[in-house]
Amino acid sequence: MSRDCAPRSQPRTSPSCSPSPRSRTTSISCRRSGGATGLWGLEPDVVTIGKAVAGGTPMGAYGVSDALAGELDHTKEVATGGTLFGNPLSAAAAVAALTEVLVPEAYEHTTALGGMLADGIDAALRDAGLPWTSYRFGPRAGQWYGPHPRTGADAHAMTDPELTRLLRIWMANRGIWEALPGAGPTVSVPASSAEVDRYLTAYTQLLVALTS
């Protein structure tokens, strides 16, 4: 299997044209064609892909460099196990997802809405007078509870599990579900500006309640 075994429309790393690799949600969110490898010009020897490759249907895929593929091809046993291996349903779902859903137009759509979401979070934070900052990555947005961190240690130091749980419950009570606590909202392929506006309205109301 070569590095280019997957179609170019397929995300080749996580957050992904897909949910986070830790996610168990079946919604699809597109980050960009080529994933992080395309975004940052990476040349990894191994790429693993989770549910996104089949639109949320259980499936996984590996992509490896030619050099590593040669080693795998000549090895009798390689630990690449998993609970599901390309069954017909998952394979058909992957073909449909990669040819009908995860197309360039979908990436453009979700990235544009993700920017709208991040801009709205920025505006809400300014209006509330909170010293928080927003982040954005394609269709995903959210906030840091402080200045934008420069290191992973900085990011960890400003985590607030109780506040994160409050945000999630607040949204759930208003019909908005965040699948991953603390990961921030992510725009899915079928979403529209109306869904972004709905999230921002509830988010702004929460900030008002916190600062009143």
Cα gap 146→50, rounded to integer Å: 32
Cα gap 96→101, rounded to integer Å: 7
**Among the three residues 72, 87, 102, which one is the final residue of a domain in this structure?**
102
**Helix, strand and coil percent figures for the chain, each rounded to 5:** 45, 10, 45
Q: Are residues 15 and 43 in the same domain?
A: yes
Q: Phi and psi of 142, rounded to 5°?
A: 165, -165
- Longest Cα separation, the chain: 66
Q: Phi and psi of 44, rounded to 5°?
A: -70, 155
The pLDDT tens digits of the residues spanning 117-137 come to 999 999 999 999 999 999 998
DSSP class of residue 186 equals: B
Q: Are residues 131 and 52 in the same domain?
A: no
Q: What is the pLDDT of residue 180?
A: 79
Cα gap 51→65, rounded to integer Å: 22
Cα gap 154→129, rounded to integer Å: 22
Residue 44 tokens, joined: 């990894």
Q: Are residues 95 and 116 in the same domain?
A: no
Q: Are residues 16 and 70 in the same domain?
A: yes
Q: Phi and psi of 111, rounded to 5°?
A: -65, -40
For the chain, list residues with pLDDT below 50. 1-28
Q: What is the pLDDT of residue 78?
A: 61
Q: What is the pLDDT of residue 124?
A: 98
Residues 6+ apart with CB under 8 A from 14: 20, 21, 35, 36, 49, 50
Counting Cβ atoms within 10 Å, is residue 8 exposed (0-12), middle (13-18) or buried (19+)? exposed
Which residues are paired to 62 by β-bridges?
A: 48
Q: What is the pLDDT of residue 22?
A: 37
Residue type present at position 85: F
- CATH number of the domain to which 205 belongs: 3.90.1150.10
**Among the three residues 102, 119, 151, which one is the final residue of a domain in this structure?**
102
Q: What is the pLDDT of residue 60?
A: 81
Range of the domain at 33: 1-102
Domain count along the chain = 2
Cα gap 154→133, rounded to integer Å: 13
**Among the three residues 65, 87, 102, which one is the final residue of a domain in this structure?**
102
